[in-house]
Each structure stands twice: as structure tokens, then as C-alpha cells.
Structure 1
């Protein structure tokens, strides 16, 4: 099995985890178009740091403790939902007060990092990833990636087999996340500098995403408590 193949598979896994639309990318987008790509990268680094913490806790077996307490997940949904709504208020203010890209960072430069880091720690989906897929990536063995493709799995079986538990795979995984939190803010920053209306629009969309996910999380948490 090729080391390069395993490393590239890790990059794809990391990229796939980081890229989908959601509250983390909403905050990264808001920071990028209002304060520049470095602020966006810093926000992405907050989410990546939480993943690194979950990685260490998974190695130690600590993350699995959450599954032993039925009340833990509803509490996480409620806390995460409230945080998203709180951050949405800030995004709404940015959308109303920002006429264009300003690259004028807040006096507190660590704001974006703290937002994504704290939000990641209360994100049941992120924790769920490390309880399932993350454990699989850490456990020594092999993973036949393409065999799980719907309808074509039997045909593609054996075409892409990677070694799980490999330092190469895990290095590639975090490299994939790192790639996303650089490329995404840089792209948004570049567009924001050319289109004046882009910054307030992205800030408004970020607020919508945060409100949407916040309400969904609160609803799920409430239903699970009841």
C-alpha cells in the first residue's frame, strides 16, 4: 500500500470534514470578509484546535464517556444552540454596520478563534464524528474506501485501501483541515476586496446559518430532554 495514497486519503477525509456548510464555516466566512483572511484562518484554527483536542481525548478513550450519560448529548445540543444564536446576534450587527471589506480587525484579535473553539466543544456532530469515524481512523487496520460507494461498491472493491491507525493517514487528515482553513478564507478575502457588497451579504448569510442551526440544535436538545 502506497504511503502517498494513504496520505492523500487522509487529506480527503480532513477536507471532507471541514468543507461542508455549517456554523463553523459561517463564522470563518464572517471573519474573512470583515477582517481579512488572517482573521478567517484564525477562526478556522479554533475549530481545528478543537479537533486536535478531540483526537487526543479519543486516543485516551475519554470522548466515549459521553455515550455513558444519556443527559450529555441533549445538554450539548442546548448549549451549542444557545451559543449559535448568541454569535448570530454579532453577525447581524456586522451585516448592518459593515458597508464593505474593511480589514479592520476587532481590538480582540482572538475573538474568531474563541468562537469556533468553544462552539466546536459543544457541537454534538463534531463529537459524534470522533466517536464513530474518528475511532475507526485511529484503530489499526485497513479501510476499503470505495467499497462503500452505493451501487458500485462491489466493482470498486480493493481499488483504494488505506491503512487506519497510521501516522501518515492522521497527518494527512489534519493537513486536509489545514488546507481548507487557508484556501476558504483566502478565497473569500479576495472576492471581498473586489466586491463592496460582498462583506455585508456574507455576514448576513452567516447570521442566517447560525440562527438556523441554533434553532435546530435547540429543538433537538429540547425533544431529547422531554
Structure 2
């Protein structure tokens, strides 16, 4: 049996690996962090709530339902939502991009997390395996790792925006639109391909 510090360390590293890679949630988190660290973190906590919900669903129903049979619908739903967000950011001016309440950021993170195919796929594969192999301690510290990453990224973006406001705002806008559009198009193609595969 592995010692507690080892299980905790594995959990933290896995949490960062789940939250760290660039993607739709990161795009919205860095955009909201321009205004304040708290608003950026609200997005992250919304996404983390989605992780918790997905963990519960997969733990309870994963052995009963074939969740992978719904992947084409998940891809298309996620694609539509991400492309919509990309359009909203592209159409907004700089002032409106940096506005918005923390509550709306939390709901944005929660919604993105629940329709994000990458997040769902992670829990269906790696997340479920981690829970079965390492147990609840590692899962608890996985969420600790996510919190660490949320705070680090929000603080980093906010501090950079205070020093290099115009450059950071422009960079974040380009990154956010590009990331959301790329993942939106990718998931749309995957969803259409999956539907065609079922039909043929």
C-alpha cells in the first residue's frame, strides 16, 4: 500500500495535468482574470464543480450505462457552445470582455466543464482508473491540484495585465478566440464523423 504523501503527490500532479493543458476552460479563465484574480478563479471553481459532478456520475453509473455511446452528442453540443463563446468574445469590445460578475464566471466554468468532451473523456478513462487504483485520497488531492493551478494561472494573468495591460488584453483575446474556435471545429468534426459512423 502506498504511503499518504505519495498518494497526495500523485493526486496533486494529476489535478494539474487535468487543469493545466490549454483548452476552452483555460481560455475563459485567463480572459476573466484580466479584471481580477477572483473572477478568474470563479471560472476555475465552476469547472472544478463540473469535475466533481462528472466524477459522481461516472462512479455511480459508469458500470451500468454505456456512456461512450453518447459521445457524438457530447462532441456536437460542446462544439456549438465553444463556437458560440468564441463569437461572443470576438464581437465584444475590450471593456465588456473584462466586465462580468464572478457568479457568471462560475456558471460559465460549470457549463463548459459539463459539455467539454475532453473533460468528460478524462473522467471516463484516466479519472475512473485513478479512483479504482489509488482510492479517494488521491482524488481529494487531485482537486487540491486543480485549486493550486486555478490560483496560479489567475494570479499570473492578472499580474501580467497590470504591467502590460494592452499587450496582455490583446494576447488573451487572440488566445481565447483561437482556442475556443479550434476546439469547437475539432469537436464538431469528431461529432459529425461519429454520427456518420453510426449511420453507415
Query: Do the two structures share a fold, i.e. TM-score over 0.5?
Result: yes
Q: Which has the larger radius of gyration?
A: 1
* Alignment counterpart, residue 105 of structure 2, candidates 101, 108, 112: 112
Query: Within the alignment, does 1:200 sit opposite 2:198 as a pair?
Result: no
Distance 1:64 1:11, change over 3 A: farther
Query: 1:2-151 residue pairs with structure 2 within 5 A?
Result: 2-33=3-34, 35-62=35-62, 65-67=65-67, 70=69, 72-94=70-92, 97-98=93-94, 105-106=99-100, 108-139=101-132, 141=133
User: How does the TM-score come out when normalised to structure 2?
Assistant: 0.89
CA distance in 2, matches of 1:186, 1:64: 41
Show structure 1 runs of 4+ deviating over 6 A. Answer: none
Higher helix content, 1 or 2: 2
Pairwise CA RMSD: 2.0
Deviation, structure 1 residue 58: 2.3
Q: Secondary structure at the match of 2:165?
A: coil
Deviation, structure 1 residue 7: 0.5
Q: Deviations over 1:152-172 (max 9, x none)?
A: xxxxxxxxxxxx11x321221
Aligned counterpart, 1:159 = none
Gaps of 5+ in 1: 142-163
CA distance in 2, matches of 1:73, 1:219: 12
User: How does the TM-score come out when normalised to structure 1?
Assistant: 0.79
Distance 1:172 1:27, change over 3 A: same
Q: Secondary structure at the match of 1:110?
A: helix
Deviation, structure 1 residue 64: 6.2
CA distance in 2, matches of 1:202, 1:179: 21
CA distance in 2, matches of 1:194, 1:179: 23
